[in-house]
Structure 1
Amino acid sequence: MTAVQPTSSFRPSLFALASVAVLALAGCQTSSTNILAPIDRAQGSSENISSLTGVIQNNPRDPDGYNVRGSAYGRAGRYKEALKDFDTALQINPNFYQAYANRALIYRFMGEDAKAVSDYNRAIQINPQYDAAYIGRGNVYRQAGRLGEAFNDFQRAIQLDTTNGRAYHNRGLIYQARGQHKLAIEDFATAISLQPNAPEPYNGRGISYIALGDYDNAFDDFNTAINLDGNVAESWANQALVYEHRGEKARASKSYARAVQLDPKYQPAKDGLARTRG
């Protein structure tokens, strides 16, 4: 990430620069809600799963039923049951590329990256036009620090005219990690246009605005992220960083404290709170 030039209005500039770098790095590594982790546990209700079980009982040789119920199990965080359903779907139809990609996502959440990549590879082998598999595999690569391979996967999904904002958001994170902030801002803007209710691209774009010295636009983006989802620690820490830049130490401390409350292990917030407390 390129260095942010210190300003006369912000005395603790070295601390701020370190915070911006760490926040950007954290943004590149996150796998949080909405855009980066498309499993919505609220949709995995016991009622829905029970209904899907009834469908399977009526037609036990239909792989679609197992695939859908496996996805519901995944949304509920019941990963072992999800894997079992995807296994069954693939036994019935070995060319069910969507089931491979869905099983890969479960492996990813279980931390079994090699198995996830293998399943994404199989999905792509069966259907080279399947954008979701490129995005999923790219996310595994990105989180493993294999940014070149990740970039190529997101690029491929975009070339396939994906309408999934995660492809642009994740490519934007890689541009950001490379210090190419204008390109990152363009990608985050596209991600926002595709998935306007996700806070992640607003946070990403705000960090790149800060890297370019545009604190006003960054502040707007961080506030929007908070309005969309007030339970994301990164958003509050990012907002605090702008308050700190403006010399509003009390407000910065309050926002850092909120971030720490949401995620006690989030180091940028802990460091910021230590700087601004008292």
Structure 2
Amino acid sequence: MVKKILAILLLFPALLCAQINTERVMTIARNALYFEDYVLSIQYFNQVINAKPYLFEPYFFRGLAKINLEDFQGAEADCDKAIQRNPFVVGAYQIRGLARIRQNKFDGAIEDYQTALKYDPENLVLWHNLSLCHMRKEDYDSAKEDLGKLLAISPRYTPAYLMRGEVYLKQNDTIQALNDFEKAIELDRYDPDGWSARAIVRIQQGKYKEAEADLDQAIHLSARNAGNYINRALARFHQNNLRGAMSDYDLALDIDPNNFLGHYNRGLLRAQVGDDNRAIEDFDFVLQIEPDNMMATFNRGLLRAQTGDYRGAISDYSKVIDAYPNFMAGYYQRAQARKKIGDAKGAEQDEFKIMKMQIDKRNNAASGNADKDMADNSDSSKDDSKTRKKSDKNVENYRKIVIADDSEFEQRYTSDYRGRVQDRNVIIKQEPMYALTYYEKVSDVKRTVHFHRYIDELNRSKLFPKMLRITNMEAPLTEEQVRFHFALIDSHTSDIVADDHNAVKRFMRGLDFYLVQDFASSVDDFTKSILLDDTFFPAYFMRALVRCKQLEYQKAEESMEGGNAPTTVGGINNNNAKKSEVTTIDYNIVRDDLNHVVELAPDFVYGYYNRGNVSTLLKDYRAAVADYDKAIELNPEFGEAYFNRGLVHIYLGNNKQGLQDLSKAGELGIVSAYNVIKRFTDRSE
């Protein structure tokens, strides 16, 4: 018994609670953080904090994990502790500033960014967020000053022109705003934000045809932005293109089914073209969101009367009249509806009320609030504009198209606070590698079940605690799942001590180590599994995947210079472990494992696919195309293989072939393919 316990301790040294190897646990924790397994990473950071509470790094990284889980108060508290332990960490001020922004503590955030800029004065992310904080506080002069400094550091940083253009709009300087938006388009014509920003200015200037052309371009570059369709519908409406406007509202509501403006305005347009029943559906939806919206209620009443539902119409008219007792059109419409159902007395009362209001208006006899309401209504009747602001509550404007208020009429970048340098731009990248795991994210678009005969046999054997899945959409673990797999590691360790020559048991524990992001232990177990049975191809497959993830993380650590890395003054990274550079040899080792996979299981399509990904990373594009060709030959419906092969063809300059593959990938459910197609279509012509 004593020997067994000693053996367990020797096999499992890294997770001992009494005296942990904090450097190793920090590495595992940062692995989990990098691969977005935030709940798990927090568990590891807790271990390091318990062992060495004087270190600043675990508090900083735990704060970063919490901010990704939207625990902004907890993130701020962790950054406080990190700064107490080391007040010269730029990243801690940056993340605390972001946490404070999310809690609307803009003064505190500004203070954090200004402090961080003393240590790192050329950090674009800090200038970006500082500018946005000043914009949110409506301190536009300070925002312009910040953006001027940002552009002095990086003259081609297009978001700064977009932000400064918005500041000019806030100050009603449309000429300067237009200049900045045009400069942003000139610098990056593939950024949809520049086109949509200029379109908004042109709508405000009444240049609807030019605005529509700009929005066409913005939609071409980013087809999943509901706001662009809403704005193009407005431009088309002003050009009397009602069908085109309704089509845009349809598209916007496909993307954002709860969009208020889309439903309200589509309801108005449907009413104009006689599509009354579907217009009622739109106003029903609006009233579910805003039950007290009297203009939507009145419009629905008109439509109900039009379709013969007079009692429903009377109910709607009555609600409006209760809210606006001097709304003459309400009494008139209710009188007409009451006549239709034979309520002559009610109709007579409404007509008498209308007559009295007309006499009072003519004699200027109205008084008090009634006089004010009548004056307001009278003024509004002189307003010839076709639109009204969403905040406009004047019921006389019930027939007008609704546009967003100025506070809402802003671009996406106004809330695009930057938390990580690597998130600055949307990067075109290949679909990820496949893994054997127990957990998979659910996709609303793609519902493919991946299958291989041997993996199915392993599942039928009932050896594994859960069903093995083949997926490239791995799901992060919940807290309960983390505890489950730590317990499994203990259980498997006991089994291995009892039977040290079982390759499958080693593989199972390696898989558990992989799921809790302990990559080094995972590789050790997969290696041992291979040594015990060199025909067991899942061990080669998973070892290749884990090694590739280790290299990806290592490269990210090497390239991190200021974003999330806890850099000190002078940009020195505080991680004491010296990192060696990732080399071609490292990736060739990964590819060698995948060579074994396809030799042992030539029908295992995911081996070819993963090897194609590795070859792409090595810039061995011909070999990558050959592997994707084989994967598609084995599975003609393999969307990810088409997508990645399409990218490789584009890298090789074969845009036409690449776009064909991307089109097929989109057809098979890889939605991001369409964005790539739009970016490269004009280059292939």
Relative distance call for 1:76 and 1:267 in structure 2 (3 A) is: closer
Q: Which residue is 1:244 aligned to? A: 271
1:266 Cα deviation from its structure 2 partner: 2.1
Q: Which residue is 2:245 aligned to? A: 218
Relative distance call for 1:70 and 1:189 in structure 2 (3 A) is: farther
Alpha-carbon distance between aligned partners in 2 of 1:258 and 1:171, rounded to the nearest angstrom: 34
Q: Which residue is 1:182 aligned to? A: 209
Mean CA deviation greater in 45-54 or 110-119? 45-54
Q: Which residue is 2:120 aligned to? A: 93
Q: 2:279 matched to 1:155?
A: no
Alpha-carbon distance between aligned partners in 2 of 1:91 and 1:160, rounded to the nearest angstrom: 29
Structure 1 residue ranges, 4+ long, deviating more than 6 angstroms after superposition: 262-265
Relative distance call for 1:241 and 1:43 in structure 2 (3 A) is: farther
Alpha-carbon distance between aligned partners in 2 of 1:141 and 1:116, rounded to the nearest angstrom: 10
TM-score, normalized by length of structure 1? 0.70
Q: 2:178 matched to 1:140?
A: no
Specify the code of the residue in structure 2 equivalent to 1:233.
F
Q: Deviations over 1:149-178 (max 9, x none)?
A: 111111111111165432221101112223
Q: 2:132 matched to 1:72?
A: no
Higher relative contact order (CA 8 A, sep 6+): 1
1:250 Cα deviation from its structure 2 partner: 4.1
Conservation of the 8 A alpha-carbon contact between 2:268 and 2:399? no
Mean CA deviation greater in 229-238 or 48-57? 48-57
Alpha-carbon distance between aligned partners in 2 of 1:84 and 1:263, rounded to the nearest angstrom: 41
Aligned length: 237
Instruction: Tell me the secondary structure at the aligned position of residue 244 of structure 1.
Output: helix
Conservation of the 8 A alpha-carbon contact between 1:151 and 1:171? yes
Identity fraction in percent: 24
TM-score, normalized by length of structure 2? 0.31
Conservation of the 8 A alpha-carbon contact between 2:96 and 2:112? yes
Matches within 5 A, 1:1-278: 43=70, 45-50=72-77, 52=79, 56=83, 60-161=87-188, 163-247=190-274, 248=276, 250=280, 253-254=283-284, 257=287, 261=291, 266-267=390-391, 271=395, 274-275=398-399
1:55 Cα deviation from its structure 2 partner: 5.5
More helix by percentage: 1
Specify the code of the residue in structure 2 equivalent to 1:188.
L
Alpha-carbon distance between aligned partners in 2 of 1:43 and 1:198, rounded to the nearest angstrom: 24
* RMSD over equivalenced CA pairs, Å: 3.4
Alpha-carbon distance between aligned partners in 2 of 1:85 and 1:98, rounded to the nearest angstrom: 13
Conservation of the 8 A alpha-carbon contact between 1:199 and 1:229? yes
Relative distance call for 1:196 and 1:47 in structure 2 (3 A) is: farther
List runs of 5+ in structure 2 lacking aligned partners: 1-66, 295-388, 401-685
1:91 Cα deviation from its structure 2 partner: 2.0
Specify the code of the residue in structure 1 equivalent to 2:168.
Y
Specify the code of the residue in structure 2 equivalent to 1:189.
D
1:97 Cα deviation from its structure 2 partner: 3.8
Relative distance call for 1:229 and 1:261 in structure 2 (3 A) is: farther
Alpha-carbon distance between aligned partners in 1 of 2:115 and 2:133, rounded to the nearest angstrom: 15
Q: Which residue is 1:12 aligned to? A: none
Mean CA deviation greater in 168-177 or 71-80? 71-80
Alpha-carbon distance between aligned partners in 2 of 1:129 and 1:119, rounded to the nearest angstrom: 15
1:134 Cα deviation from its structure 2 partner: 0.7
1:43 Cα deviation from its structure 2 partner: 4.6
List runs of 5+ in structure 1 lacking aligned partners: 1-39
1:138 Cα deviation from its structure 2 partner: 0.6
Specify the code of the residue in structure 2 equivalent to 1:124.
L
Conservation of the 8 A alpha-carbon contact between 1:42 and 1:76? no
Mean CA deviation greater in 108-117 or 189-198? 189-198
Relative distance call for 1:105 and 1:163 in structure 2 (3 A) is: farther
